[in-house]
Amino acid sequence: MSTQATVVFRAEDASTAVRSARWWKRHKFWLLCAAAFLVLSLLGIILGSGGASTGGTLSITNPAPAGSQAAASVLRNQGVEVTATESLAETSAALRGNGQGNSTVLFYDPRNLLSREQSAELAAAVQDSGGKLVAVAPGPLAVKGLSSELSSAGTPAGTPTAEAQCTDPDAVAAGTIDGGAPALGASATSVSTSLMLFKGAQNCFSPSGKTPAAGSYLAYNGTGDVAALGNPGILINQNLASRGNAALTFRMLGSNPKLLWYTASLKDVPVAEQTPALSDFTPQWIFPASAWLLLVGILGMVWRGRRHGPLVTEPLPVVVKASETLAGRARLYQNARALDTAAATLRHGTLSRLAHTMRLGHTADPAAVVDAVSSQSGRNQAYVHDLLLGPAPTTEKDMLSMAVELTALEEEVAQR
């Protein structure tokens, strides 16, 4: 007959490796989802940063449909020096360096970063240099800063296709423009959704159903050195060859030997002289509302506290029913799936009760209890040994079967 050492019962259900494997099995799905999201985010950032070098909408380095590399390349082939600038200071410095009457400035501010004062400063710099300014879809405040003779007339409701309807030589040479086709890869400030109408001393390319005086896609001031173009789609690669878009683009931007392609950026946002405090970003109503909510909370606590009365002291230690501790421990084992610990606990209790029933004492060797139970019940000794000292069950079904068999064995021994 084989003997086995005294069973050692552990509070912990398994080793660190086993617990780690169970934790991984329980959370594997969410961890894989998080890893996939992280990988896709990194790929998006990498691809986005890689594509940023080609520029965005109306960028002269962007060969995509929404870029303007084609217009810039043709102008360079015709002898025009095209330079991209990203700030008002850089543009003003380039104007001073290009000499008197040699520069045309294309101004594009899709996010409306420049204030009215900065727009006026840009117009003054262009006027001082004797150059020409073409503002592409400027905002209502920016266009007033560029020239007091120009104003915004809203957005068109009809088709972007329009005829010249004016005597300006550039517009007459173009005849008809059509720059409203959707551009693949355009950003949120898509050129197909930024169509604007302007009014000035001379208005060209009014939409169908509108007179030039009501607003047009191209408006000039009285001297003709400041123009507001409300249809930026004529400048992009995808639409440049459509109708008279190329003629208008090259005549407007190629009239001077040097072209400054100025796209406003965060460099134009003025830096604050001092770091703003938290109160500068907090709405004025937040402090009165917080005080009111605090007062209501205090009144609520006083009301509910008086309703339930004062706290009641209870002498310690507190007596808890055995059934409650038994159910609590069983739920802990169930939540942790600690089958081996639960099985060891059941077997330990059964061995203790069997030893007491057969008057062997609580310190009796488990093997001696197995021999005594086998003789008393008439059951096979190997069966009793496996039931009381065998390997732990691996599934909850086996666990329940073992519990039923242990209960039946105890009842059988007690009846004999």
Q: What would the pLDDT profile of 197-232 be if each residue is shown by its tens digit? A: 888 889 898 887 677 878 888 999 988 889 999 888
pLDDT of 375:
86
pLDDT of 132:
92
Beta strand pairing status for 151-152 and 198-199? antiparallel
* Interatomic CA distance for residues 256 and 275, integer angstroms: 43
pLDDT of 1:
40
Band (11; pLDDT cuts 50, 70, 90): very low
- Is the Cβ–Cβ distance between 104 and 73 less than 8 Å? no
* Interatomic CA distance for residues 98 and 259, integer angstroms: 10
* Interatomic CA distance for residues 347 and 333, integer angstroms: 15
* Interatomic CA distance for residues 28 and 37, integer angstroms: 14
pLDDT of 255:
86
What average pLDDT does range 132-137 have in this prediction? 91
- Burial (CB < 10 A; 0-12, 13-18, 19+), residue 218, is buried
Q: Is the pLDDT of residue 399 over 70?
A: yes
Ramachandran category for residue 130: left, alpha or beta (phi over 0 → left; psi -120 to 50 → alpha): left
pLDDT of 75:
92
Q: Which two tokens mark 74?
A: 């043709």
- Is the Cβ–Cβ distance between 250 and 78 less than 8 Å? yes
Pick the range with the lowest mean pLDDT from 267-281, 319-333, 352-366: 267-281
Q: Strands (DSSP E) along 70-204, which ranges? A: 81-85, 103-108, 132-136, 151-152, 162-163, 176-177, 198-199, 202-204
* Interatomic CA distance for residues 184 and 237, integer angstroms: 10
Band (54; pLDDT cuts 50, 70, 90): low
- Is the Cβ–Cβ distance between 176 and 163 less than 8 Å? yes
- Which is more confidently placed, 65 or 182? 65
DSSP annotation string for 275-336: PPPGGGGS-TTHHHHHHHHHHHHHHHHHHHHHHH-S-----SSPP--HHHHHHHHHHHHHHH
* Interatomic CA distance for residues 384 and 27, integer angstroms: 39
- The residue behind tokens 């242990």 is 406
Beta-carbon count within 10 A of 319 CB: 4
- The residue behind tokens 């009760």 is 353
Band (12; pLDDT cuts 50, 70, 90): very low
- Return the percentage of the chain with pLDDT > 70, whole number: 88
Tell me the three-class secondary structure of 21-41, residue by residue: HHHHHHHHHHHHHHHHHHHHH
Could you tell me how many helices (H) and strands (E) the chain has, helices first? 13, 11
pLDDT of 309:
64
Which of 8-17, 246-255, 326-335 is the most confident on average? Answer: 246-255
What is the average pLDDT score of the chain? 83
pLDDT of 15:
63
